[in-house]
Amino acid sequence: MRIAAFEVRDDERQSFDDEARRLGVEVALHEEKLEPGNATMAEGFDGVSTLGLSRLDSSLLETLARQGVKVVATRTVGYNHIDLDAAKRLGIAVLNADYAPNGVAEYAVMFMLMVLRNYKPSLWRGQVYDFSLKGLRGRELRNLTVGVMGTGRIGATVIRCLTGFGCRILAYDPHPNDAVANHAEYVDLETLYRSSDIITLHMPLLPSTEHIINRDTIARMKDGVVLINCARGGLMDLEALIDNIESEKIGGLGLDTVETEEDLIHRDRRTDILTNRGVAYLRQFPNVVMTQHMAFYTDAAVHSMVNCSVEGIRSVLDTGTFRTRIA
Ligand code: COI
């Protein structure tokens, strides 16, 4: 059984080697993303493993199917980069990852605290030996209302983490989760927008959720609202965020992902000419904390992502099933 893995980082190699040995499969590791120009690298392999930058649209999937690939596994929870309908039509099985939600959930709570306590300007001051307090007075979570949009595994874990802070917690999800109902009050979106001091997104990126945070929805939120996004950049209209940070309608942002991140994430761009104007501009605000799509990035999650992908491909090829099979 042969697997071709793409977008492989150095810190994943050990887990790939361990899993390949443990499960008796051959794994070829490639740093580059999988794209039409290098799809022949998957020729003759039974399964393909990628992260989120490989766009598995119908044409790339057709090429893979022609080359004999039977299973595609993304080492990510999100799968908006894969055309599931095309995969089904072509008879390619698709798997995603199910690493523990705690890393991302804790990161979202960390962002809330960083923004509420003005951590970024305080860090800047410390670096130039300025230990003044002026302008850094913060707010306490226990006095605030947090709206959680999306209560799947990650959103539900955010809610569990928040219960210790004593804040009011509102939740929205088209499919309410019984486990959440004891800790949060399910409300409609309008109520969540109108009542929340902080809104954190934990929804998948789908045609129905793309730009769910836009000029109209922001206008319906509280003045000074804090928005947190550790899910997918495309959930928020970047231009609307910029305008509303400038006007101070938005009081703070914690963004681990933005819609135009593709040419930036997980790359060292220090010596390159700036091209991403939105990110370059937004990241300068003292009340905007931005990171490189790394909320997932913990030792436990990295191992789980690789394990799930290799074990999942093997299981589907052997038995036709795996717990994370989505198509
Ligand atoms: C996911 O698992 O969906 C992620 O966003 C992590 C990915 C960027 C490696």
Residue nearest to atom 2 of ligand 1 (CA): 76
Which helix or strand (DSSP H or E) is residue 254 part of?
strand 250-255
CA angle (292 as vertex; 117, 232 as ends), nearest 5: 90
Q: How far apart are CA 188 and CA 235, in angstroms?
A: 18
186 dihedral zone (left: phi>0; alpha: psi -120 to 50; beta): beta
Distance from the alpha carbon of residue 266 to the mean position of ligand 1, in angstroms: 11
Q: Is 261 a catalytic residue?
A: yes
Distances (CA, A) of 183 to 111, 177, 218, 321: 21, 11, 26, 34
Predicted pLDDT of residue 192: 99
| Cβ of 120 below 6 Å from ligand 1 | no
Q: What's the CA gap between 281 and 37, in Å, rounded?
A: 33
* Identity at 27, one-letter amino acid code: V
Q: Which amino acid is at 112?
A: M
133 alpha carbon – ligand 1 mean position (Å): 37
Beta-ladder partners of 26: 2
- What pLDDT is recorded for position 150? 98
Which residue minimizes the CA distance to atom 1 of ligand 1? 76
Q: Which of 95, 85, 87, 81 is nearest to 61 (CA)?
A: 87
Count other Cβ atoms within 10 Å, centred on residue 162. 23
The answer to whether the CB of 51 is under 6 A from ligand 1 is yes
Q: What is the pLDDT of residue 203?
A: 98
Calculate mean pLDDT across residues 97-102: 98
Tens of pLDDT, residue by residue over 259-292, are 999 999 999 999 999 999 999 999 999 999 999 9
Q: Assign 68 a pLDDT band (cuts: 50, 70, 90).
A: very high
Compute the CA torsion angle 199, 221, 259, 273 (nearest 10 deg): -110
CA of 78 from ligand 1 middle (Å) equals 6
| Catalytic residue (choose from 7, 12, 259, 261) | 261
Contacts 24+ apart (CB under 8 A), 123-129: 124/286
Question: CA–CA separation, 177 vs 203, rounded Å?
Answer: 13
What amino acid occupies position 314? R
Catalytic residue flag (residue 293): yes
User: Atom 7 of ligand 1 has which residue's CA nearest to it?
Assistant: 76
Of the chain, the percentage scoring pLDDT greater than 90 comes to: 99
Domains 2-99+298-319 and 102-290 share a fold: yes
- pLDDT tens per residue across span 43-58: 999 999 999 999 999 9
Q: What is the architecture of the domain spanning 102-290? A: 3-Layer(aba) Sandwich (3.40)
User: 153 CB less than 6 Å from ligand 1?
Assistant: no
**Entry pTM:** 0.97
Set 232, 259, 311, 314: catalytic member = 232
Average pLDDT of span 89-113: 98
Provide the mean pLDDT of the chain.
98
Q: Of the residues 94, 95, 293, which should be mutated to test ligand 1's pocket, given the most ligand atoms within 8 Å of the CB?
A: 293
Assess whether the C-beta atom of 79 lies below 6 angstroms from ligand 1: no
Domain-wise residue ranges, the chain: 2-99+298-319, 102-290
Residue 2 CA, distance from chain mean position: 29
CA gap 82, 77 in Å, rounded? 12
Ligand 1, atom 4, lies closest to the CA of 76
The CA 229 to ligand 1 mean position distance, Å, reads 13
Cβ–Cβ < 8 Å for 253, 242: no
pLDDT one-digit tens code per residue, 191-241: 999 999 999 999 999 999 999 999 999 999 999 999 999 999 999 999 999
190 is catalytic: no
Average pLDDT in the 156-181 region? 97
Q: What is the mean pLDDT of residues 86-106?
A: 98
Residue nearest (by alpha carbon) to ligand 1 atom 6: 76
Mean pLDDT, residues 305-313: 98
pLDDT in the model for residue 1: 96
Region 2-99+298-319: CATH code: 3.40.50.720
Q: Taking residues 170-176, report their average pLDDT.
A: 97
